[in-house]
Structure 1
Amino acid sequence: MENILVLNGHEYYEHSRGELNKTMFDATVKLLEPHYNVKTTVLKDGFNKKEEQEKMLWADAVIYQTPIYNYSVPAVFKKYLDQTHEHGVYFRGKTKEYGIGGGLLEGKKYMFSTTWNAPAEAFNDRNKFFEGRNVEDVLFHLHLIHKYTGMKGLKTFSCFDVKKNPDIDFYKKDLKDHLSRYFQV
């Protein structure tokens, strides 16, 4: 992989200003820039659909840095996905089996880097809030969006308990360790 797009999916709210998300976005870019051609998008600054589609076609990998709001991505990030994932650009129709074989982004990879208010202990335990589901299960709908395009997912990176018990140094070290599984950092 030579070309990587890093996208900051944060949407500003008074109760969620995006400081951690920006920190993780900046850390990702800083780790990758010495080794790769990196382009970035910051959704809160606005975006042009065609430019973003060109970036996606250019990229070998996409890393989405995003907070999780109400168990999904912020509205501006969902809008980005809805507008950029266009028939004839990222996928084509008329395949034998729905969603299989029509993706035009085959060979590309994507990764979600997420921040959660939920603690890690809320996952993977049938007696806890997520009823035994892991992060990938909760984000399954986002993985389907990319599967439809032919992209392959890398394991999601997550920071947990970010409002009650933030540990920025740990998150940054953990991010570096996670990225090193897939990229030169």
Structure 2
Amino acid sequence: MKNVFIINAHEAYPFSEGKLNATLVHRAKTHLTQKGYDVRITTMKDDYDVEQELANHQWADVLILQSPVNWMEVPWSFNRYMDTVYSAGMGGQLCDGDGRSRQDPSQQYGTGGTLTNTKYMLSLTLNAPKAAFDDPNQWFFEGKGLDDLFWPMHLNFKFFGMHPMKTFACFDVMKNPDIENDFIRFEAHLNKHFELLPSA
């Protein structure tokens, strides 16, 4: 595991310039580079080439999706990225169709992924407090967790054959931020899941 591809899915708004997500991407790149990893980054605010993005996914041992949670999902610009890039990868770069056979199209949906040696990690920033999740006494999420909220994104990556790493999140980033502690937790998360490479 040497190649890490980071996608910064942040879309800038007047009330959210994207500094936190950009800083997390920068810290991940610096931390992982120091550990001996090769890192590539794509950002939604910049132009990207579809074929290069497909190549980045094929090159990566790990994909890190750094994203704010906007209206309970990723920003619209990353949805556009998925519609453009991921749809283009259906011919074998990311998956060979949906995995089903003509003989029995009722079976094996979602097993056509070609990135079976690739892991992915969600790193999310959101305004909701951590206490709002995994607690059946909290009204809004009804006891569900953050990974339940992002289950569709997990399924997107599973469709390509990828395997999940533990999700990281910065909670309550607007109303009650604790950013410095978030950075400490983020570094600890990276240390736990990315070992120091022998060549580093």
* TM-score tier (shorter): over 0.9
* Aligned equivalent of 1:169: 180
Pair 1:18 & 2:18 matched: yes
* Aligned equivalent of 2:137: 127
Equivalent pairs, count: 184
Pair 1:31 & 2:35 matched: no
Partner Cα distance (1:53, 1:140) in 2: 23
Partner Cα distance (1:81, 1:154) in 2: 20
Partner Cα distance (2:50, 2:157) in 1: 17
* Aligned equivalent of 1:112: 122
Contact 1:107–1:151, Cα closer than 8 Å, also in 2: yes
- Structure 2-normalised TM-score? 0.89
Q: Deviation per CA, 1:73-104: give whole Å up to 9, x if none.
A: 0011111122221211211125241012x111
**Aligned counterpart in structure 2 of residue 90 of structure 1, from 90, 94, 112:** 94
What percent of counterpart residues are identical? 40
User: Which letter does structure 1 place at the counterpart of 2:188?
Assistant: D
Give the alignment's Cα RMSD to 1 decimal: 1.1
Pair 1:149 & 2:160 matched: yes
In the TM superposition, residue 180 of structure 1 has moved relative to its aligned partner by 1.6
* Aligned equivalent of 1:140: 151
Structure possessing the higher radius of gyration over alpha carbons? 2
In the TM superposition, residue 46 of structure 1 has moved relative to its aligned partner by 2.3
- Structure 1-normalised TM-score? 0.95
3-state SS, counterpart of residue 172 of structure 1 = helix
In the TM superposition, residue 178 of structure 1 has moved relative to its aligned partner by 1.0
Contact 1:32–1:184, Cα closer than 8 Å, also in 2: no
3-state SS, counterpart of residue 193 of structure 2 = coil
* Aligned equivalent of 2:104: none
* Aligned equivalent of 2:103: none
Q: 1:48-59, aligned counterparts within 5 Å?
A: 48-59=49-60
3-state SS, counterpart of residue 192 of structure 2 = coil
Deviates most, 164-173 or 110-119: 164-173
User: Which letter does structure 1 place at the counterpart of 2:71?
Assistant: N
Moved over 3 A (4+): none
**Structure 2 portions without partners, runs of 5+:** 101-106
3-state SS, counterpart of residue 180 of structure 1 = helix
3-state SS, counterpart of residue 33 of structure 1 = helix
Partner Cα distance (2:119, 2:142) in 1: 29
Q: Deviation per CA, 1:14-42: give whole Å up to 9, x if none.
A: 11111111111111111101220111111
